[in-house]
Structures are given as structure tokens and as C-alpha cells.
Amino acid sequence: MMERFYNPVLVKELKLRFRSFKSFSGLMFYLAVICIFIAGFLLLTTEFTGKGFFRPETSFMMFAVLTILQMALVLFITPSLTAGAISSEREKQTLNILLTTTQSSTQIVIGKLFSSVAFLVLMLIAGLPLYSLVFLFGGVSPSQLVSIFLFYLVTVIAIGSIGVMFSTITKKTIVAMIATYGSIIFLGGITAFFFFLTMAFHQMGNAIGTGTSFMTYFWASINPGALMLTLISPEMGDALAELSGVELPVWITYLLVYIVIIVLSLTIAIKKLRANMKSNR
């Protein structure tokens, strides 16, 4: 039974990734940035005296900014780990050898993706002790922390799947990385622009029926930053529902859309993996 779920590609990638100095240095950089931020925030709050009161409102603010910072770091790091999953094998001329093994295309793609996701999950877990500081001062509930980390996991898998897809359909790692960063810019920046644009049309009374209201909700529901804000402050989710007239929680739409992105990206990667090999012959 266990042999059915055993993935040699995943085991090999995990061993290589977790034993490399590059992974260790990346983890240290990630934790150092968070530590510097927390230390700076505490110093600014106490006016560089190390004394004073740290109210729950201030603790909540630190949690919100720390969440945004961690999300930015995760989005910045994910393409560098996944965009070269397949293209780097092609550049090293080892892809054809890998494809001649008994491993299926699904095992290869899933193994490459999960090895990268496992390292990103390790980074998130390593930052939990720093996150726990907010519980010392109150203002944040454990359910908020759990929901934030589940949001991280879904987003990381989706961005990782996009990276693996571009790594499969392109021949160069740099091209795959640029395309993956472009997808992040679309999901994080372009959708925010469309959200504010449709909201402006709606407030000016130029909406036709409920189309603009729904599009305002849709662009917000697929934007990682917007979902993060609604998880940090549920009042923002209520305000969005009132503005758009859509009662469906943002996180449900976000989850459904990103599951579609994951399935579609992995399907394309699996289908194109051996097709590219045949086209190169």
C-alpha cells in the first residue's frame, strides 16, 4: 500500500534541497528579516527605551504588518524555488534521463512541486515562535493565526504550480521565473487595479445592473492581499459584501479559484512534460 504512494523523485528532491547550503542560507535570511522587523517594531513602540506598555491594539498592528511582510517574502521566494523545477533539468541535460525512468509524468511534476512546497512550509513553521509573541500581549485569536497559515499554504501551492507549469513549457529557467513573477504581479497588482477601477465605476453610478458590483467582488476575492486583509479584519469582508451585494465569503471564492489554478497548472505541466521531450527529438 505504501509503495503506491512512494515517490522517488520527491524523496530525492527533499534530500538535495534540505542538505544544500543555499536552502539553509535562504531560511536564515527569511528569519533574519522577520527578527529585524519585530525588533524594530518593538523599539519604535517603546521609543527606543525598552520600557512602556504594549497594548493589544499595538500587538494586533504588529501581527497585521508581520503577516503582510511574511506574505511578501513567501511570494518573492516561491518562484525561485519552483520556476526551475523542470527547466533546470533540461538545461543540465538530465531531463531525458529522468523521463526514461519508470516514474510517470505525474510523479515527476508532483515530486518537484511538493519538495519546494515542503521547504516553504518549513520556513512558515520556523517563523511560528516569532509569531507567538503577539499572544503575549493579546489582540489576536488563535483562529486568526490558523486561517492565515492555511491561506499561506493554498497560495504557495498555487504559485508553485504556476511556476512548475512555466518551467515545463519553457526551455529557460529565467523565462519561467519571469513568467511566474508576472503571474504574481497579475494576481496581486493587476487585480487590485481592476478592483479599484470597478469600485470607482460603481460609486459613480455607472454600473449596469449588478455586473460591476459582482466584478468588484470577484477582483477582490482572487487578490491575495485582499483576502489577507479580510482574514485579519473581518469587518473589511463585511464592508466588501455590503459594497458588492454578494454575501458569499471572500475566502470561499478564493479557495475555489485557486484550486482551479492548481489543477489546471499541474494538468498542463503533466501533459506537456513528455510532449516537449518528443518534440525535441
- pLDDT tens track for 150-184: 998 999 999 999 999 999 998 888 999 999 999 99
The pLDDT value given to residue 276:
56
State how far the Cα of 105 lies from the Cα of 272, in Å rounded to an integer. 9
**For 117-120, which contacts have Cβ atoms below 8 Å and span 24 or more sequence positions?**
117/156, 117/157, 117/160, 118/14, 118/17, 119/17, 119/18, 119/23, 119/81, 120/74, 120/77, 120/78, 120/81, 120/156, 120/160
267 pLDDT tier (thresholds 50, 70, 90): very high
CA distance 23 to 25: 5
pLDDT digits (tens, 9 = 90+) for 56-113: 677 777 788 888 888 888 888 888 888 888 888 888 888 888 788 778 888 888 888 9
Phi, psi for residue 276 in degrees, rounded to 5: -65, -35
The mean-pLDDT minimum among 43-57, 78-92, 234-248 falls in 43-57
- For 193-226, the pLDDT digits (tens) are 988 888 777 667 654 444 567 787 888 888 888 8
pTM: 0.85
Model pLDDT for residues 13-26, shown as the tens digit of each residue: 888 877 777 778 88
Q: How far apart are the C-alpha atoms of 122 and 114, rounded to whole Å? A: 12
3, pLDDT greater than 80? no
pLDDT at 266: 93
CB distance 272 to 176 below 8 Å: no
